[in-house]
């Protein structure tokens, strides 16, 4: 093989290797159809359930999960603003989030994404806010809907 033929062959081989490498790299950096941090577990479209505040989530920081929604007591008092109800599936990859009373925010145990009590992303990798649900209280009955 002549020198020019060798270099030409080497160039084609190198180009093929680069194409393969770039294809592999683009997969790992692919932000996905939702711009990155997208969930494959969409929030429940409609929920409606009740809690008895005489028996459930009585202390700040306590939570209950039902129908794909996590409700957390974020303050004392049986008024709607003392509670936050959001989708339980993290918008990054769908792990069930927790509520941290010390941080006052929802935290994902998988990759540490954090969300406000309104569901807004504070820290990624999640980029999409949690869906927030309505909370109303009648007597000692709390209703989550939305």
Q: At 22, phi and psi to the nearest 5? A: -65, -40
Residue range at the interface with ligand FES (CB under 6 A); choices 6-14, 51-59, 71-79, 106-114 = 106-114
Residue range at the interface with ligand FES (CB under 6 A); choices 22-30, 56-64, 104-112, 130-138 = 104-112
- From residue 74 to residue 93, the character string flagging contacts with ligand FES as x (rule: CB under 6 A) and all else as - is ----------------x-xx
Strand arrangement, sheet containing 121-123 = 98-100, 105-107, 114-115, 121-123
As measured in angstroms, the least distance from the Cβ of 61 to ligand FES is 20
Q: Give which of 83, 71, 101, 89 is closest to 130, Cα–Cα.
A: 89
- Which pairs from 102-107 meet CB under 8 Å and 24+ separation? 104/74, 106/70, 106/72, 106/130
As measured in angstroms, the least distance from the Cβ of 68 to ligand FES is 15
Residue 125 binds to ligand FES (criterion: CB under 6 A):
yes
Two structure tokens written together for 16: 């093929």
- Using CB under 6 A, list all residues that contact ligand FES: 90, 92-93, 95, 108, 110-111, 113, 125-126
């Amino acid at each position: 093989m002549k020198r020019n033929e060798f270099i030409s062959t080497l160039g084609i081989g190198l180009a093929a290797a680069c194409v393969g490498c770039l294809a592999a790299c683009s997969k790992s950096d692919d932000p996905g159809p939702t711009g990155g941090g997208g969930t494959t577990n969409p929030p429940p479209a409609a929920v409606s359930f009740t809690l008895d505040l005489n028996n459930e989530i009585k202390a700040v920081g306590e939570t209950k999960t039902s129908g794909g929604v996590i409700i957390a007591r974020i303050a004392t008092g049986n008024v709607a603003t003392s509670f936050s109800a959001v989708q339980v599936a993290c918008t990054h990859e769908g792990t069930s989030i927790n509520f941290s009373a010390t941080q006052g925010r929802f935290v994902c145990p998988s990759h540490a994404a954090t969300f406000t009590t309104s569901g807004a992303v504070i820290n990624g990798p999640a980029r999409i806010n949690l869906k927030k649900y309505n909370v109303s209280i009648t007597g000692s009955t709390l209703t989550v809907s939305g």
